[in-house]
Amino acid sequence: MKLRYILAILLILSITYIGYTFQPSSVPYIDNFIVEEVIEEPDYSLEIADFLESYKSYFEYKFHEYGSVGGALAIVYKGQVVVLKPYGVKKIHTTDSVDVNTVFRLASVSKGFAGVLSSILHHKKIIHLDTTVISYLPDLQLKKKENQQLLTVENLLSHTSGLVSYSFDPYIERGVSFSKIYSNLKIANISSKPGELYAYQNVMFSLVDTIIHKQTGKSYETVLKEMIFNPLGMIDASVTFDGFTSTQNYAYPHKGWKNHVAALPLNNRYYETKPAAGVNASITDMSKWLQALLGYAPEVIDSTVLADIQTPRIPIRSKYKYSGALWSGVDSKEYSLGWRVFNMHDTKVMYHGGFVEGYRAEIAFCPEKKIGIVVLLNSANTLAMEAIPTFLHSFFEYSPKVPQVISPLTAQNQTKGLKPHAF
């Protein structure tokens, strides 16, 4: 009986072993089942690796040389984030380091978001760029009836309203509400008909906030989140002072230069003009924004919108703006929908800078070369002016044989016999 029991156990174990051993070595064919080959995307940073290393060395050296407090740098190339790097601290005399999710104020770099959002809404037939503002805001009053009747949404976004530059900015500085400024537009001086001259604005530009609210029934912030921030995964971005401070991970503003830098109190100025200067974002957010601007998020920002913002509307005629050694090679300067459009070294460059007390933001991208850069700083100094043109000049002239980054200011110093820092 015992022997029979043992033999039964051995038989079961043998059958189990045989069944396991002779399992098929490959997955059986299933009708209509196709296994897709996964193609790994190449690392495009390798194409410009020495340029990137050289530029990062330049940026870090200048960051410290100019006495910067905190900042962040992002570079996108062929749809890939090839540099994402924080620098310094959020507040001077602390050890609270900036990280890739630290939020900075973008100031006038906010205008690029308004231009893109307005184009999206235009193609969705929610607002129309060529429609008169008075059609949306019938209570609008301007000093000249002709401007009041002819002013379009496109004029607002391209700084061609006809009002003199920076109309009512002193009101914004004093914290006057936008509604009160709006009721006083009728006293603003006018220098031209709509569409004739470029004259930079914050208040007139921000009328798109009111228009978007009237046409959608939602706040500007809500529409921006629904159509741009959330779809792109810009989780740190906001458009209010409360949105800025509620993150608990924000950079403080600073004034001064080199060894004379001091922290400033936070201020809520210019949040009354959200489209013009109200966006807050981290460098991680801005790297995603760059990818979309370069055409790598077509489900959010498609080619028709990209074409809209890249189409110049008006020349920037000031001979002093974006000239000299820093911006040498710029053949034409124009403005589109919230973006400056430069022809630089025979290549189109989309650019904008921003300043609000204690913060500087700079962004540029080149659709043809598939490259873009963002610089965020919480102290205003020469680096903010130099970083973008240095990047562009160096990239356009880039060769694997000559990877060194030399800024235009450094090159200018060489001609004066000054010994530049060697990278």
Provide the residue ranges of all domains of the chain, joining segments of one domain with +: 67-383
Name 412's Cβ contacts closer than 8 Å, sequence gap at least 6.
325
Per DSSP, helices labelled H in 225-349 are 230-232, 241-245, 274-277, 283-293, 303-309
Q: Give the per-residue pLDDT at 133.
A: 98
pLDDT tens-digit map of 241-262: 999 999 999 999 999 988 889 9
The stretch 197-217 carries a mean pLDDT of 98
pLDDT at 400 over 90: no
Q: What are the start-end ranges of the E strands in 140-279?
A: 254-255, 262-263
Least confident of 40-49, 322-331, 349-358: 322-331
CATH of 67-383, one of 3.40.50.2000, 3.40.50.2300, 3.40.710.10, 3.40.50.150: 3.40.710.10
Q: What backbone torsions phi and psi does residue 410 show, to the nearest 5 degrees?
A: -65, -40
Minimum mean pLDDT among 138-142, 288-292, 382-386: which range? 382-386
Written as one string, the DSSP assignment of 101-138 is: T-EEE-GGGHHHHHHHHHHHHHHTTSS-TTSBHHHH-T
Q: How far apart are CA 118 and CA 137, in angstroms?
A: 16
| CA distance readout (Å), 249 to 97, 99, 236, 280 | 10, 9, 9, 12
Average pLDDT over residues 332-346: 96
pLDDT (0 to 100) of residue 67:
93
Is the predicted pLDDT of residue 288 greater than 70, yes or no? yes
Name the least confident of 37-51, 163-177, 241-255, 350-364: 37-51
88 vs 21: CA distance, rounded Å? 61
Of the two residues 309 and 380, the one the predictor is more confident about is 309
Q: Is the pLDDT of residue 2 over 90?
A: no
Query: 57-99, pLDDT tens digit by residue?
Result: 999 999 999 999 999 999 999 999 999 999 999 999 999 999 9
Per-residue pLDDT, 230:
98
Position 321 confidence tier, pLDDT thresholds 50, 70, 90: confident
Q: Are 136 and 214 in contact (CB under 8 A)?
A: yes
**Under 8 Å between Cβ of 57 and 405:** yes
pLDDT of residue 401: 39
